[in-house]
Structure 1
């Protein structure tokens, strides 16, 4: 039992990364911000409501264990932000991450005066600054309200970006996104309105001498000398924080200087491409710097293994894998020391390698003709293809890796469809509907679909060979092909409209694809497609099958090996083979 617990703790510690620590701290701080914003929103009711709300707010956040966790998270998050400024080597404004970093680093400087004035003033001098006093200082005694508004917006935007990066890959995010967006807009809006309404109320009440007597006492605001001391502390801490930022920037410069003096190293990609980079860059960062395509689904966060590389030659001089890298490699069942994560490996000498997953740069060719009219009836051939065993595939892999493999499968299928004159139309999970005949006569469309099925088989063979090092068993598939009259047009609602085909022929093709599982074959072709394509009657074995939703059985042709279809459509290919 003890050994098991120790093993689990070891695995957990290996799985924890700096990003995860920063995420946990950020979530704690964002929870505080949400609580504070909701308290501000009570100003839309009254200042008294804000005071009642802040009582419960402080009751929770000043509870000693919670306060320790909160301030630890705040200091850790700030420290990791400064470390991220030092560590980050690529500042590309095409992504929102640099913006998040800049916003996060500006928050401590902006919030310093407020924290010192309220929390340290209470600790050192017993000040009791609550909403009436703070609103008075912001709206009446000074014009700091704009500084506070900017701080609130920056803190909120920074937190929302972090929450987005955390949740965007979760299964529920698509469904939850509209509600999260509504909350992201409503909460700060109500908060700022609450502060404004509360400030207006305090401005009016500040003219009342009795109100000033009860709310602007020495116990609440302190003396001039105490305020001056708090200002000096604020200035000193702000200068110290800015000094830490300057130190991080100087450290970056010193590191770059040391790297240049330490010499450059050559990274050879195994395909003739070689780049020279300073020591200390990760292989993935080197690829980004020199615009070399490199697969990385998670963006270099060590949350997937798609950036894996295999070292060519001696790998003994390489740095040892980090805890996070070792954890990911263990999760995907890789024990070969020559296989490393490109996002984590920072070589110190010349290195030769090749990528295990080549970057997917194929863009779908969308030159298939658009139909002349929307909502017309015409003869089309529908080809349904589905990946077999994707559930078992997902059980053995990281989510990012599963998505990567499925995308490669769909890319191989789409390429075969496009090469043979078809158009990828709908993607449903790990399956796809392709349409043939949008710009061809029925016979040509049927022959194109049959050749596309053979092309799919060939492309999947190539994919299996490419991924052979990572697949316990080859990727399998099922294809259903049927032709007939369908309705084509734009289907959907508002911004979610897609061009597709509807009709019995499409449904039958889907049923035939599903039937390949029970008939243990790669493809099933309807008799309609066989006849229209002009194939010989004895070219493929015939079978009668029952189609759900049809009263009469249907004649189909069973294709055990889809590769044979190409030679049947074009006999000249059999001779070439």
Structure 2
């Protein structure tokens, strides 16, 4: 009997295994925190309805509770509460050193304080409803805050601010490495300030309405009945439960603090190890610290964009010597190393490696480009993978030009050419990146999406032709033949970051897409055209399939042939891009 094979099953299984390898405590914390932040956002929007009326508050809380008390949602929500709280306590125990001197400890302290501040509120509403059938909605809660126990309003406002700030810090740590974050940050900040402000104003307006309604005896009889608020005995029971939970939680936090101290003593008794940084610097630390924690504890600058969360690879180190005695990489560390294509066992993440013996290494990303805390002002300066369009522009005949002119005259003409090219690139939204002799690499897409980046590159190619025509007219009295050029354009995923040494760092892009653009520029000579554009750029820019002639070519360094589009005169690209834009509009 023949056995049938299914070739697609293995890649799917491998993809699933890779996804599972990438899941760690930080990913679980992120998911659970996102669920809680969604609840908080829903609650704040509900509070903000108090600026309209009490009826709006009542309508909002109806839909709010209907969604969050729906059994599957409730299971996920309360599971996220439990998981996030346990992970916060575990972080208090596990974290030996904070890479940011203020914001990380602040986030942890705020997060751990939230259960203390909300326990009375949660027990009074949820447990009261579950045990005694109490119906504490906005009228009852606002009565307690503004009339029965006015001092509790400050606790309520404090928990609003603390929970919101804690959630916003978590979102900031998650989003700040995303390519869109710099553009979105002002809008996110406006939302982060506006939503809690409206929520607190809504509570205040609801409180004023409640204080006015309290003067009505009928309102008091209906809203403050024992069925809604509970009897004195029931309230006493709920307060005892809340007090017991508070004492238990504080005892757990105290136990964790004691455990931290005991661990420190045990680590010191377990021995010290020496970490050598490869530059003559050596520090002695207790066993159990990660290399990054050891660096931070001893004020040794160490690159770490994500703050030691294994969400980037900028803290990578290369081990000097034997790696056999090192602990095996955790699933999360293995995932990150695999993601950046590192199969070398001597390459490890400093935030995850906890050596138990003396270790010598050197950092792959030098920290002199960082701030004192080891973080870069922009993650892209350290290393970031993203889609960019690369354009190589080369001046033709510069060698013959130099043979017949004085050196200063040649430099003058080449600089005017590069100036004409750079002006076109800048006006179309690109960035002149590298100048090599009489050629230039320009990048598009650093601040826009891939569709617009491709269109910007095509417009720039057309404008380069116009600028070079003007330059040829200006230099016509000094040139025996007009300046000609070749352009290669290709788009794809590249790594962008600072490359170089010490004071000679250059921001640039590395990757196959950049190399292909350079090869396409070379092909303009053999194909007798001004520009060669990859079909990837043509399609992404939205140009019609028959807009430019196609040709299949072999690219040096690539196994498969590639479809490219030849442009005899780049001036036509301006009309093509504008025509496609008009059709789309």
Instruction: Provide the TM-score with structure 2 as the length reference.
Output: 0.65
Larger CA deviation: 203-212 vs 164-173: 164-173
Q: Are the counterparts in 1 of residues 275 and 360 from structure 2 also a CA contact under 8 Å?
A: yes
Q: Once the two structures are superposed, what CA deviation does each residue of 1:501-524 show, in whole Å capped at 9, x if it has no partner? A: xxx9843555799xxxxxxx9311
* Structure 2 Cα separation of the partners of residues 57 and 83 of structure 1: 31
Q: Once the two structures are superposed, what CA deviation does each residue of 1:266-301 show, in whole Å capped at 9, x if it has no partner? A: 111223221100111111111122222323333322
Q: Are the counterparts in 2 of residues 480 and 524 from structure 1 also a CA contact under 8 Å?
A: no
Q: Are the counterparts in 2 of residues 512 and 524 from structure 1 also a CA contact under 8 Å?
A: no
Q: Are the counterparts in 1 of residues 99 and 296 from structure 2 also a CA contact under 8 Å?
A: no
SS of 1:552's equivalent in the other structure is helix
Aligned: 1:306 with 2:314: yes
1:345-356 aligned at under 5 Å gives the runs: 345-356=353-364
| Residue 282 of structure 1, aligned match among 280, 290, 296 | 290
Aligned: 1:404 with 2:318: no
1:253-332 aligned at under 5 Å gives the runs: 253-332=261-340
Q: Once the two structures are superposed, what CA deviation does each residue of 1:215-256 show, in whole Å capped at 9, x if it has no partner? A: 111110111111111001000111111111111111110110
Match of residue 368 from structure 2:
360
Q: 1:223 to 1:6 in 2, by over 3 A?
A: same
Q: 1:362 to 1:173 in 2, by over 3 A?
A: closer
| Residue 113 of structure 1, aligned match among 114, 117, 120 | 120
SS of 2:179's equivalent in the other structure is coil
Match of residue 96 from structure 1:
103
Q: Are the counterparts in 2 of residues 118 and 127 from structure 1 also a CA contact under 8 Å?
A: yes
Match of residue 58 from structure 1:
65
Task: Tell me by how many angstroms 1:361 deviates.
Answer: 4.4
Aligned: 1:522 with 2:436: yes
Q: 1:354 to 1:171 in 2, by over 3 A?
A: closer
Task: Tell me by how many angstroms 1:175 deviates.
Answer: 2.7
Q: Give unpaired runs (5+ residues) of structure 2.
A: 1-7, 372-377, 393-406, 427-434, 441-464, 486-585
Aligned: 1:344 with 2:352: yes
SS of 1:276's equivalent in the other structure is strand
Q: Are the counterparts in 2 of residues 306 and 401 from structure 1 also a CA contact under 8 Å?
A: no
Match of residue 421 from structure 1:
none
SS of 1:550's equivalent in the other structure is helix
| Residue 200 of structure 1, aligned match among 195, 208, 218 | 208
Q: 1:300 to 1:145 in 2, by over 3 A?
A: same
* Structure 1 Cα separation of the partners of residues 314 and 339 of structure 2: 13
Match of residue 468 from structure 2:
548
SS of 1:296's equivalent in the other structure is coil
| Residue 170 of structure 2, aligned match among 162, 165, 169 | 162
Instruction: Provide the TM-score with structure 1 as the length reference.
Output: 0.66
Task: Tell me by how many angstroms 1:430 deviates.
Answer: 11
Q: 1:79 to 1:362 in 2, by over 3 A?
A: closer
Match of residue 232 from structure 2:
224
Match of residue 21 from structure 1:
28
C-alpha RMSD of the superposition? 3.3
Q: 1:512 to 1:109 in 2, by over 3 A?
A: closer
* Structure 2 Cα separation of the partners of residues 481 and 359 of structure 1: 36
Match of residue 124 from structure 1:
131
Larger CA deviation: 249-258 vs 17-26: 17-26
Task: Tell me by how many angstroms 1:6 deviates.
Answer: 2.8
Task: Tell me by how many angstroms 1:189 deviates.
Answer: 1.1
Task: Tell me by how many angstroms 1:548 deviates.
Answer: 3.5
| Residue 75 of structure 1, aligned match among 79, 82, 100 | 82
Larger CA deviation: 301-310 vs 548-557: 548-557
Q: Are the counterparts in 2 of residues 305 and 401 from structure 1 also a CA contact under 8 Å?
A: no
* Structure 2 Cα separation of the partners of residues 273 and 429 of structure 1: 40
* Structure 1 Cα separation of the partners of residues 65 and 484 of structure 2: 74
Larger CA deviation: 68-77 vs 198-207: 198-207
Task: Tell me by how many angstroms 1:188 deviates.
Answer: 1.0
Match of residue 149 from structure 1:
157
Q: 1:195 to 1:261 in 2, by over 3 A?
A: same
Match of residue 144 from structure 2:
137
Match of residue 563 from structure 2:
none
Aligned: 1:38 with 2:38: no
SS of 1:154's equivalent in the other structure is helix
Q: Are the counterparts in 1 of residues 365 and 382 from structure 2 also a CA contact under 8 Å?
A: no
Q: 1:480 to 1:21 in 2, by over 3 A?
A: farther
Aligned pairs, how many?
416
Q: Are the counterparts in 1 of residues 114 and 163 from structure 2 also a CA contact under 8 Å?
A: yes
Task: Tell me by how many angstroms 1:429 deviates.
Answer: 10
Q: Give unpaired runs (5+ residues) of structure 1.
A: 364-399, 408-427, 432-445, 451-478, 484-503, 514-520, 527-544, 559-577
* Structure 1 Cα separation of the partners of residues 280 and 45 of structure 2: 59
| Residue 173 of structure 1, aligned match among 156, 171, 181 | 181
* Structure 1 Cα separation of the partners of residues 187 and 383 of structure 2: 31
SS of 1:548's equivalent in the other structure is helix
Task: Tell me by how many angstroms 1:4 deviates.
Answer: 3.4
Q: 1:47 to 1:546 in 2, by over 3 A?
A: closer
